Amino acid sequence: MLEPVPGERRPRFNERDCTDTVRHDRLIIGQAFPARMPMGSDNRTDWSRGLGASRPLRKYPRLDVEFTAEYEAGSAAASKPMKVLTLGGGGLFLGVAEPLAPGTEVSLRFRPGRRLHFVETKAKILYHVPGRGIGLEFTQISSEHRQAILRFIHQKMEENRKFPRAPLAVQVQYPGGVAIGFSRDISLGGMFIETSEKFDPNSSVGLRFHVDDSGRIVIATAEIRYIIHKLGMGVEFREVSPEDRGRIEFYVKAGKPGVPERRGP
With respect to CATH, is domain 62-159 assigned 2.40.10.220? yes
pLDDT at 165: 61
Whether 60 contacts 150, CB under 8 Å:
yes
Query: Could you tell me the fold of the domain covering 164-254?
Result: Thrombin, subunit H (2.40.10)
pLDDT at 98: 79
Task: Kindly tell me the sign of the dihedral angle through the C-alpha atoms of 19, 25, 27, 33.
Answer: positive
pLDDT at 213: 63
247: enclosing H helix or E strand: helix 242-254
Burial of 30 (0-12, 13-18, 19+ CB in 10 A): exposed
Q: Map residue 17 onto helix, strand or coil.
A: helix
CA dihedral of residues 68, 145, 37, 93 (deg, nearest 10): 40
pLDDT mean for each 10 residues of the chain (265 residues): 45 35 26 33 35 53 92 71 93 87 92 90 93 93 93 85 71 91 89 90 92 82 92 93 90 60 38
pLDDT at 10: 40
Whether 211 contacts 251, CB under 8 Å:
yes
For the chain, the structural domain boundaries read: 62-159, 164-254
